[in-house]
Homo-oligomer: A and B are copies of this chain.
Amino acid sequence: MSDVVSAISTPSRVADQDEGISVEELQLAARNHGLLSEAMRFDVTPIGLHYLLIHYDIPDLDPDAFALTVDGAVTTPLRLTVADLRARPRVTTRVTMECAGNGRAWFSPRPVSQPWLTDAVGTADWTGTPLGPLLREAGLAGDAVDVVFTGADHGVERGIEQDYQRSLTVDQALADEVLLAYEMNGAPLPSQHGFPLRLVVPGWYGMAHVKWLTTITVATTAFTGFQQATAYVMRQRPDEAGTPITRIAPRAQLIPPGFPDFMSRRRAMRPGACRLSGRAWSGHAPIVAVDVTTDGGATWRPATVDGTADQPRWAWRRFDCDWDAKPGSHRLAARATDADGNIQPLAPQWNRGGFANNMVQEIEVLVLDD
């Protein structure tokens, strides 16, 4: 049967040089929207503005019939309704989430997949119960290796019919910050963000935060499912094993000043003193510096960064930088550095899957005459 299913699927590929964006890529862009960049002004991204990536369809789940299963190499398999999970300790964490494919469509040649430009990001308050205590209650086997998370979303990818599945190692799964979330921004999860239950793994790219989570299976061998070992892997060539995608690389992004042209999205503004603002985040370590240029990278100066290294720990930090805008065309950009010494690159670091493109992005703005 998998031969037949594979008829609706195509292999992964890289676009030809100068190949325009295809209708297939456009179909994905019309479904999976980015954060409108002006909406970075909100500390917490309102529902409907947070980026969204759904591999297959939003599944139609009945919350009354729903239960999470914990099984595999555990002493006591568990079955928990949403009410059971709500009766457990409750934690709310503010988390910035970014798609691993953010920036893909800026690569040349362009890997053909969801054609993200710069906006596959969002920050939400996720409420749920920590995963670690629940796994400990189930009783992890001494030889447990991976914890596999299965979502209810079902589809085909490169010929393989599957439910969406990802794993964490036991150590990663037991980290204090990992949540089973049933609320987003203080309300039940929206259907498109995983209703009634999703995994939240602060600091990691979005592919780890399994939506419509139905089953947690503890495994004594390494999980090699499609999304783990095939899809989300950094490679230069299709035949290499590559490096798995994990934590979010640092990025700073300006809220575009002025006002846009409808079609080109190019920007214009009035001259004079203004404040440039934006957001910076990293999944590896706290943001410690953001530098801003208004002359296309000829000179950089430090922005003021809100918050501290620990607060918020998993969410973006706002930055501000004053600018005296003179008439003419200007190329603006921001560049983030985290406490691990990771700094955004100035040149693209191409890879075949189009992942983790955190290259500094310029915004061109035309400052009008007085």
Contacts and interface: CB of A to CB of B under 8 A. Distances in A.
A60 B41 contact: yes
Interface in A323-370: 366, 368-369
A58 B41 CA distance: 11
Nearest to A54: B36
Contact of A191 (B5, B46, B115, B116): B46
Give the residue among A29, A161, A192 with the most B Cβ atoms within 10 A: A29
A26 B116 CA distance: 9
B366 A4 contact: yes
Q: SS class of chain A's interface: helix, strand, loop or mixed?
A: loop
A38 B58 contact: yes
Contacts of A115: 26, 30
A38 B54 CA distance: 12
A83 interface: no
A31 to B, nearest CB: 5
Given A4-B368, A7-B366, A9-B264, A259 B21 contact: no
A87 interface: no
Question: How often does this chain occur in the complex, in copies?
Answer: 2
A285 to B, nearest CB: 29
Contacts of A30: 29, 33-34, 115-117, 119
A306 interface: no
A24 B262 contact: no
A243 interface: no
Interface string A45-61: 01111101011111010
Interface in A302-318: none
Given A21-B26, A23-B105, A260 B57 contact: yes
A204 to B, nearest CB: 20
Nearest to A22: B20
A-side interface size class: 35 or more
B20 A21 contact: yes
A36 B31 contact: yes
A24 B115 CA distance: 13
Given A30-B34, A58-B38, A115-B26, A46 B190 contact: yes
A158 B262 CA distance: 8
A263 B112 contact: yes
24 contacts: A5-B368, A8-B261, A8-B264, A9-B261, A10-B261, A19-B20, A20-B20, A21-B21, A21-B26, A28-B263, A28-B265, A30-B34, A30-B117, A31-B34, A31-B119, A36-B57, A38-B58, A38-B60, A48-B52, A49-B192, A154-B259, A156-B259, A157-B261, A161-B259
* Shortest beta-carbon contacts, A-B, top 7: A20-B20, A33-B33, A48-B48, A8-B266, A21-B21, A29-B29, A38-B57
